[in-house]
Structure 1
């Protein structure tokens, strides 16, 4: 059983456990907390309950996957794999399509604006270089926030970029992505960022300058002077503050806007689809949904 539970990422196991607790509270109510093999009828009642609450089909699929996982792990029949539960969710999804993702891309010009206002928002030169490096890597590496920074100060999942994941030289930065949202088995991927001789923004120079002031500490690559990790909350909060100071609406952007911006910029340069897929490590043409109009004043 321990080996089966260890086959999924710690964050996934945590979210699955929470989903099963919600399912149990609705299906069985108060009890001794022991997992009981549910029937397909109970699963369908729970899905109808989630729909009545207005939960998205994505949430339904997640909770269904959680119940399915624990049923299989405990040796019970899986009531979630049948035709009716999955088709019910698919039908509800068609009836109420998800709202479009309206996040704007962070373009190279917006990145310059963000980096320009950092000294006005950070309390030390070290923090300026830390966030300069974090934002530069997020854009040029098309990185998800979860691949780059820690989920919290107490995050022990090891998903954040580690010091040993980064190899620097004056010409390039090599980044090892050990695991990502679409790579739960941990096959990993490599990202190579080349030095740029033109323009003030260069991820290689940013990493080099950061390494000169970074304490020689193993663990997360992006850390504060006190050795605590840069967290997702801090990353997102300062991004919003920078956007606002730069005269841009924070509500139209998010941490994923760096990745969206990388795809949009690459497409604007006329790169072929295969090259754009390689930049963001996309395995399909899903990247096309990331190519969006740039923000314009007055919009």
Structure 2
């Protein structure tokens, strides 16, 4: 019965309380100690904790990056002569247009176990260009290891119109920084001889400084993936196609369908050939 009080009295968010509860449950299981808590009771207590938690304990919703945001942010970067800024902008556009995760294209640290590892981090040798039978071109990135697949996954983008074109950015990055073929893809030059891999912390630092320069709000890294999903959906990319492109394996993908009227509008008209596709995505499977 103390779970709601933890949130109310001490300001813990419901997610933290939930982690504590299931951590204790895991301890019981690992040590062969009976876990006598009723699942229904735990669920009710966690819901109560969520309701009683103060607003200050709840994380603000992540705002999405948009093409307009990227275009304006570009004005706060020196893409004429700063190798770091060029690497950051290229990483940003590649992450955005592949609907990737920022951590898949950056390093956690420069050294140690979280530093660059050619077996786990993307390299220039992991990039290739493919054309389909109609001659449509895509640039494909093989990610040697991801958070959901230890054997690696592939993501891709195609050339875009405007100042956020990832192809133009990648060409500039490769020409300016010349990252080693089997080194980190988004390495940047420091002086005439030294190369540094782009870390997530350095990426965020540069992006926030550029946002200040351009008069923009600070956005968080995960907002890139959210913004990419919204951008493609607003362009009319089918839900099932976007789910594959974004490698969404859970129902979290449906969050984007519920909260944005612009995305739903084509599917809510009196006569719409898109009804069937929408229903197929959002309706739960029939249970046998």
In the superposition, the TM-score normalised over structure 2's length comes to 0.68
Structure 1, 83-92 or 107-116: larger mean CA deviation: 83-92
Who is 1:119 aligned against?
Answer: 78
Who is 1:229 aligned against?
Answer: 197
CA deviation map 1:132-172 (0-9, x unaligned): 21111121122232333223334635697421783133843
Change in CA separation of 1:109 and 1:155 when aligned onto 2, cut-off 3 Å: farther
Change in CA separation of 1:238 and 1:271 when aligned onto 2, cut-off 3 Å: same
Who is 1:38 aligned against?
Answer: none
Residue 97 of structure 1: how far off its partner (Å): 8.7
Change in CA separation of 1:102 and 1:75 when aligned onto 2, cut-off 3 Å: closer
Paired with 1:192 and 1:152, the residues of 2 have a C-alpha distance of 25
SS at match of 2:77: helix
Paired with 2:154 and 2:123, the residues of 1 have a C-alpha distance of 15
Q: Which runs of 5+ in 1 are unaligned?
A: 1-43, 294-299
Q: Does 1:133 align with 2:90?
A: yes
Residue 52 of structure 1: how far off its partner (Å): 2.8
Residue 227 of structure 1: how far off its partner (Å): 4.0
Contact 1:161–1:222 (Cα < 8 Å) also in 2: no
SS at match of 2:201: helix
Residue 290 of structure 1: how far off its partner (Å): 7.2
Paired with 2:120 and 2:168, the residues of 1 have a C-alpha distance of 21
SS at match of 1:66: helix
Who is 2:154 aligned against?
Answer: 190
Q: Which runs of 5+ in 2 are unaligned?
A: 131-136, 263-288
Change in CA separation of 1:204 and 1:245 when aligned onto 2, cut-off 3 Å: same
Who is 1:268 aligned against?
Answer: 234
Q: Does 1:109 align with 2:75?
A: no
Residue 55 of structure 1: how far off its partner (Å): 0.6
Measured on the aligned residues, the alpha-carbon RMSD in Å equals: 3.5
Who is 1:247 aligned against?
Answer: 215
Paired with 2:260 and 2:60, the residues of 1 have a C-alpha distance of 12
**What is the number of equivalent residue pairs in this alignment?**
242
SS at match of 1:117: coil
